[in-house]
């Protein structure tokens, strides 16, 4: 009986994949658009300078380095990561977390 449900689930997934995939891509695109728009108008709480897109690139690079370091320290482990670093002020280095629901940055607390 379980085999039937798994088969039906697999068939449903294949049938809906052409719908689910574009929806996921559009949602991610909207997320990035909101993040970039906020970075271009948000003033750093530390130095008052607008964060800008460079702050997002700095955070992406720092996050990539962190994940690479974790992979080196724990080879073969399945990592479940929750990203909290979304922007780093290019002027003073203040890290920020993006709150999607509030469409706002808060100072990152680690
Ligand atoms: Zn700053």
Per-run averaged pLDDT (10 residues), the chain, 110 residues: 87 88 94 97 97 98 96 92 95 96 91
Strands (E), 13-103: 87-88, 95-99
Distance 29 CA to ligand 1 centre (A): 26
Give yes or no for a contact between 12 and 28, defined as CB atoms under 8 angstroms apart. no
Distance 17 CA to ligand 1 centre (A): 43
Domain of 97 in residue numbering reads as: 2-107
Distance CA 75, CA 96 (A): 29
Element (DSSP H or E) covering residue 104: strand 104-107
Task: Give the model's pLDDT for residue 27.
Answer: 95
Distance 6 CA to ligand 1 centre (A): 52
Number of folded domains in the chain?
A: 1
Task: Give the model's pLDDT for residue 3.
Answer: 87
Q: Looking at beta carbons, which pairs linking 95-100 to residues 24 or more positions away fall under 8 Å?
A: 95/59, 96/42, 96/51, 96/55, 96/59, 98/35, 98/38, 100/31, 100/34
Distance 40 CA to ligand 1 centre (A): 13
Distance 33 CA to ligand 1 centre (A): 22
Distance 36 CA to ligand 1 centre (A): 17
Distance 4 CA to ligand 1 centre (A): 57
Collapsing DSSP to helix, strand or coil, 107 comes out as strand
Structure tokens at 36: 């970039």
Which residues are paired to 88 by β-bridges?
95
What pTM does this model have?
A: 0.80
Distance 91 CA to ligand 1 centre (A): 5
């Amino acid at each position: 009986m379980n085999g039937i449900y798994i088969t039906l689930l697999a068939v449903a997934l294949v049938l809906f994949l052409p719908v689910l995939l574009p929806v996921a891509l559009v949602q991610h695109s909207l997320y990035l658009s909101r993040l970039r728009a906020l970075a271009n108008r948000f003033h750093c709480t530390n130095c008052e300078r607008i964060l800008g897109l460079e702050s997002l690139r700095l955070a992406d690079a720092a996050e990539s380095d962190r994940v690479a370091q974790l992979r080196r320290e724990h080879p073969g482990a399945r990592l479940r990561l929750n990203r909290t670093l979304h922007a780093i002020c290019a002027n003073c280095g203040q890290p920020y977390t993006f709150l999607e629901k509030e469409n706002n940055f808060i100072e990152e607390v680690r």
